[in-house]
Amino acid sequence: MLRTLRFAAIAVTLVCAPWHSISARTVYRCVHNGSVSLASAPEPGSRCEARKLDDKAAIVPNLWGINGVQKGALYQRLQDGRLVYSTRELPGSTRVLAFTVKPPHDSTVHSGLGQIGRARVDQYPQLFSAAARVNQLDDAFLRAIAHAESGFAADALSPKGAQGIMQLMPETAQQYAVKDPYSAAESIAAGARHLRSLLRLYKGDRTLTAAAYNAGQGAVARYGGVPPYAETQQYVAKVEALYALYAAAL
């Protein structure tokens, strides 16, 4: 019983395999009818992805893919002759305990530093017009992203390390040969090129483009759409609202 409770306490955040002296384990993130569960073995009827976890890692990954407090229960059942655990109640399951946890936030996303407010078409109009024209972008969308990201503050620095008007992460800035991430001209030009690349990838879908700009292409691919991170969902909604404002203003 003690070992089961010890496992259950860890399983609330990871859904680990039964506790032994091991340094790594496999956890399955399973999706069924749009709901996510974590399990120690693939769940019948669910689409499951295996994830290797290091028990000694300093940072626990957010396998839920959802920020904020999660409430549920941990269940155990026999599957193929062995005891397995899951946060989804399946036929033959026995409830072990209830839990309330707050999964760690995805470390790469942020909700953006800019507030919606009004359309600010007076901010760097020539730079935005030129960058939109060169990259064949909708000027309103480019400005909406900049507004959501930084509120047009050229010296903006996010807690995650994103820099400048377009809030480029250092690796993205390097990808587009940006020498000074706080230069309005360089930031807008590189941000426009990055948006063009994302729009081509997602065949003009602004929602997926905004999601990838915020959380990365990997997260969009992993979840098959807008990732279920609270920050990303708020960011996408903010960009869409701003796009409507700038489309009307321009």
184: tokens are 């309005």
Q: Is 231 a catalytic residue?
A: no
Provide the token pair at 146: 């900049």
Closest Cα to residue 205, out of 240, 175, 176? 240
Decide if 246 contacts 240 (C-beta within 8 A): no
The amino acid sitting at 190 is A
Q: Among the options 43, 49, 89, 149, which is catalytic?
A: 149
What are the percentages of helix, strand and coil residues in the chain, rounded to 5? 35, 20, 45
What is the edge-to-edge ordering of all strands in the sheet holding 24-32? 47-54, 24-32, 35-39, 82-86, 70-79, 94-101
d(CA 196, CA 97): 49
Give yes or no for a contact between 48 and 35, defined as CB atoms under 8 angstroms apart: no
Q: Which two tokens stand for residue 160?
A: 């995650």
d(CA 125, CA 54): 49
Catalytic residues: 149
